[in-house]
Amino acid sequence: MRIPGWLFILGVLAFVGLTAGGAVVAFLVGREIAIDTRQAGIDIGGGFDTFLRRQPSPTPRPTIPPTLTPIPAGPTFTPRPGETLTPPTEAPQITPTFDLAADYQITDPRRINILLMGIDQRSGVEDDGPFRTDTMMLVSVDPVRRTAGVISIPRDLWVNIPGFRQARINSANQIGDAQAYPGGGPALAMETVRQNLGVSVDRYLLINFDVFTTVVETVAPNGIEICVQEEIDDPDYPDAGFGTIHVHFDPGCQLLNAEQLLQYARTRATFGGDFDRARRQQEVMSAVQEQVLSAGGVLNFIGDAPRLWDELTGSFKTNMTLDEILQLAVLGQDIGRDGVTFSVIDNLYVNLATTNTGDQVLVPKQNSISFLIQQTFNPPDTELTLADLKVRADAEGATIAIFNNTQIQGLASQTRDWLLGRGVQTAQIGNTPPEFAASGTIIRDYTDNPWTARYLARLMNLGPDRIQPGADGLTTEDIAIIVGEDVQPLLAGQEGVADETSATPSS
């Protein structure tokens, strides 16, 4: 799925991509003004408001009535016959403009990788940490191609924390801070991502939830409309301290204030848990984007810079310079609406597992995650043809089983013959057990073969939502095609099969 380019900058400037990035850019611009002022020798003390209060009041001067001196009339000019006099043209008024792009251009062509982290810091208690990360997003920007990719990383991903132990990835920041790792928790989190996901990261932005609520209250004081797709009931949502509150959302479109938006984006009380949460965060991002655009764009929030700077100081940490952040903001405007790819490491890219201490975790499928990273950070300029997918699938060498999940006798055999006629060998056919729960034809990947799953889906005209992780023990083969009644038109030739050179696939 793709999101507007400027929206990527929201993610860079706020946790989970939930903040209205324009306002954050605004307070950073205000910060630049403050820095320049301080370098000029003016003490701004505790913040912009203090700075303004410290400015000297103008000294009153006595009022002297002006003496008006009449201006003598100038000479009168009489045009010669056939000549027309043209009155002098008034000089145009030049209105100064704020041109962020003029001073902040990225000239280094190398890819920029940034780790965004939101920490679980409770505002209602005095707690200096160390903190786990509640959310992690990996962002990659290509300044040359003017593209960017954003991947949400589930906090329960079970990884090796370099130099320490295996643990959930959300504990990397906590361990790094607690163990005085060089560079602290963010440095260990970046190294953890590098070693486990294969992406080198050298920049980070870490913030707490105050950034989100403060900026959204600035951008949308009356709330933002969200269309809730399903009932959400969470009796154990964490409050500002170490207790819980009851959070509930009914289906339907409704205005949510900043605190409610945060709750909507953070709760895991749905069937999809962390994966659903990542998708709701994307929904909130789009809604905040619309709010900022309807308000006239990011620069309309420049006036809020002083207050935001004062309120948010101490709520974020980064190793990026102000210039780097502003350069990213400018680049984000150039990336365009179709220049950013947003992805989630969801159930297709992990296996569910239980640790020896009884904790439920997500074990990464390395091949599948590498595939996702490639497709997100370096998407092909055109969709792969069926022939391209077949070459990649053949290289995986996956074995395939077919199971009949209907009462139609011989449907698995018919599907085997249909595939054989297209060069696809199968190793096993059979029927699903009576308790097997599935509707429609699906493809299950048991051993991390993303290209084979995609090739079979394309060949059978199945959408990407029909590809699922395999963890039910149905087969020992690598891939299972579980056929439903909906496969019959395809086998009868009533549905067109994707041809070998198609550049506009259905999945």
Residue 81 lies in a domain: no
Domain housing 467: 386-491
State whether the Cα torsion 399-401-402-405 is positive or negative.
negative
Asked if 446 and 331 sit in the same domain, the reply is no
Q: Are residues 471 and 352 in contact, defined by beta-carbon separation less than 8 angstroms?
A: yes
For residue 453, the one-letter residue type is A
CA atoms within 13 A on the CB side of 216: 29
Last residue of a domain, one of 338, 356, 379: 379
Last residue of a domain, one of 379, 408, 424: 379
Asked if 181 and 260 sit in the same domain, the reply is yes
Structural element, H or E, at residue 159: strand 158-160
Residue 245 lies in a domain: yes
For residue 493, the one-letter residue type is G
Asked if 257 and 350 sit in the same domain, the reply is yes
pLDDT tens for the chain, 507 residues: list them.
Answer: 443 333 333 443 433 333 334 334 444 444 444 444 445 444 444 443 443 344 344 444 444 444 444 444 444 545 556 555 455 455 454 444 445 445 555 555 688 999 999 887 766 667 777 999 988 999 999 888 888 888 999 999 999 999 999 999 999 999 999 999 999 999 999 999 999 999 999 899 898 877 778 878 887 888 999 999 999 999 999 887 778 999 999 999 999 999 999 899 889 899 888 888 888 887 887 687 667 656 654 555 656 656 666 677 777 888 987 778 777 767 766 776 677 788 899 888 898 899 999 999 999 998 889 888 988 898 776 678 999 999 999 999 999 999 999 999 999 999 999 999 999 999 999 999 987 877 789 999 998 898 999 999 999 999 887 888 887 889 999 999 999 999 999 999 876 444 343 333 333
Asked if 469 and 439 sit in the same domain, the reply is yes
Label residue 371 left, alpha or beta by phi (over 0 means left) and psi (-120 to 50 means alpha): alpha
Asked if 375 and 391 sit in the same domain, the reply is no
Asked if 402 and 430 sit in the same domain, the reply is yes
Residue 449 lies in a domain: yes
pTM of the predicted model as reported, rounded to 2 decimal places: 0.68
Residue 498 lies in a domain: no
Residue 90 lies in a domain: no
Contacts of 469 (CB under 8 A, 6+ apart): 347, 348, 350, 351, 365, 444, 445, 446
For residue 295, the one-letter residue type is A
Count of domains in the chain? Answer: 2
Structural element, H or E, at residue 137: strand 133-142
Report the alpha-carbon distance of residue 13 to residue 329 in Å, rounded: 9
Residue 497 lies in a domain: no
Structural element, H or E, at residue 227: strand 224-228
State whether the Cα torsion 138-210-224-271 is positive or negative.
positive
Asked if 297 and 176 sit in the same domain, the reply is yes
Residue 72 lies in a domain: no
Could you tell me which of 151, 177, 175 has the C-alpha nearest to residue 162?
A: 175
The torsion defined by the Cα of 406, 412, 418 and 421, in degrees rounded to 10, comes to 170
Report the alpha-carbon distance of residue 398 to residue 475 in Å, rounded: 13
Residues in the chain: 507
Asked if 271 and 366 sit in the same domain, the reply is yes
Asked if 336 and 400 sit in the same domain, the reply is no
Asked if 131 and 193 sit in the same domain, the reply is yes
Last residue of a domain, one of 361, 379, 397: 379
Residue 502 lies in a domain: no
Report the alpha-carbon distance of residue 316 to residue 207 in Å, rounded: 4
Specify the DSSP class assigned to residue 493: T
Report the alpha-carbon distance of residue 270 to residue 264 in Å, rounded: 11
Asked if 374 and 390 sit in the same domain, the reply is no
Give phi and psi for 83, each to the nearest 5. -105, 140
CATH of the domain at 433: 3.30.70.2390
Q: What pLDDT is attached to residue 363? A: 93
Reading the block at residue 78, the tokens are 């009489």
Asked if 360 and 432 sit in the same domain, the reply is no
Q: Are residues 455 and 431 in contact, defined by beta-carbon separation less than 8 angstroms?
A: no
